[in-house]
Amino acid sequence: MTPDRIKAARDLIAFHLEAGVDIAVGDEPVDRFAEPAVERPPPAANSAPREAARRERHAPATFSRPGAAADLPPAAGSQSAATPVSAEAAAMAARQAAHSAATLDDLRQMLTGFEGCALRNTATRLVFADGNPAAKLMFVGEAPGYEEDKQGLPFVGRSGQLLDKMLAAIGLDRTQVYITNIVPWRPPGNRTPTPQESQICLPFIRRQIELVDPDLLICLGGPSMQTLLEVKDGIMKMRGKWMPYATGTRDIRAMATLHPAYLLRNPLAKRLAWRDFLAIRKALG
């Protein structure tokens, strides 16, 4: 390759990384521009309200056959990838599905078949949870990253390794805690999930908390705190404070602390997280 072509290839890869394309999903490249365009009939005049109503009615169609392909997203170009539904319809379907899950296994199955969140189409797999479902201490992060998406487990990358060290510092390991995220699919390029994506996934994480039924709930980072504890203030102001959280069956204690990824970037803040972890240890008794 000439130096010009090498530079062009490097620039293209850098552009892909910026755009969030950082994993190869097939062995062979596919030229999507060369594929025949799918003809769609033009919508009839004034059909928009009818079409919106039809989509609302068909909200439960945000599910594929449960368990059809355990934890893996639909193939590109499948109906689910091509049929967006409104956020409200997706949130409603999520509420119904989460409510009907009697066990954590049911909930995992429901999420596997749930097509209301577009993140599942770009993620490699569902990242449901890790740790002990009977634990009294539950951690909720924001969303899986690259390593988590590869392994199908939350907090297994650099942030997860730091979390393990923080747990060890208060005498705990993953067999004594339960760990999950607000959003169970990796957002492209590790971006923060949008409020809409978090809201669509919220009924699932709420039900997951209810089913695990921990005594203490710890939100890792601001987005997790703001979504679950409905707090508007920032993490620096709210971290380390115990707040009530209603699981649906009882009130438990919840606290937000700094996200391990933040601590990796700001090592001086570890002393604040250490205080929070000591408070968690004390609360556990």
Which of 122, 124, 181, 208 binds ligand URA (CB under 6 A)? It is 181
- Using an 8 Å Cβ cutoff, are 177 and 139 in contact? yes
Assign 63 to helix, strand or coil: strand
Burial 257-269 (b: 16+ CB within 10 A, else e): bbbbbbbeeeeeb
CB of 142 to ligand URA, least distance (A): 4
- Asked if 131 interacts with ligand URA (CB under 6 A), we say no
3-state DSSP helix/strand/coil % of the chain, to nearest 5: 50, 10, 40
- Where in 247-266 is the site for ligand URA (CB under 6 A)? 261
Which of 93, 94, 143, 225 binds ligand URA (CB under 6 A)? It is 143
Q: Which helix (H) or strand (E) holds 140?
A: strand 137-141
Q: Which helix (H) or strand (E) holds 205?
A: helix 195-212
Query: Whose Cβ is closer to ligand URA: residue 59's or residue 219's?
Result: 219
Q: Which helix (H) or strand (E) holds 218?
A: strand 216-220
CB of 192 to ligand URA, least distance (A): 9
- Asked if 124 interacts with ligand URA (CB under 6 A), we say no
Query: Whose Cβ is closer to ligand URA: residue 90's or residue 143's?
Result: 143
CA–CA distance, 129 with 198 (Å, rounded to integer): 17
- Asked if 141 interacts with ligand URA (CB under 6 A), we say yes
- Which tokens hold the place of 152? 């199908």
Alpha helices (H) in 101-172, listed in sequence order = 104-113, 119-122, 146-151, 158-169
Query: Whose Cβ is closer to ligand URA: residue 73's or residue 144's?
Result: 144
- Asked if 73 interacts with ligand URA (CB under 6 A), we say no
- Asked if 184 interacts with ligand URA (CB under 6 A), we say no
Burial class (CB in 10 A: 0-12, 13-18, 19+), 174: middle
Query: Whose Cβ is closer to ligand URA: residue 80's or residue 257's?
Result: 257
- Asked if 187 interacts with ligand URA (CB under 6 A), we say no
Number of residues that bind ligand URA (CB under 6 A): 13
Which of 113, 131, 152, 154 binds ligand URA (CB under 6 A)? It is 154
Which of 114, 128, 139, 155 binds ligand URA (CB under 6 A)? It is 155
Interface with ligand URA (CB under 6 A): 141-145, 148, 154-155, 157, 159-160, 181, 261
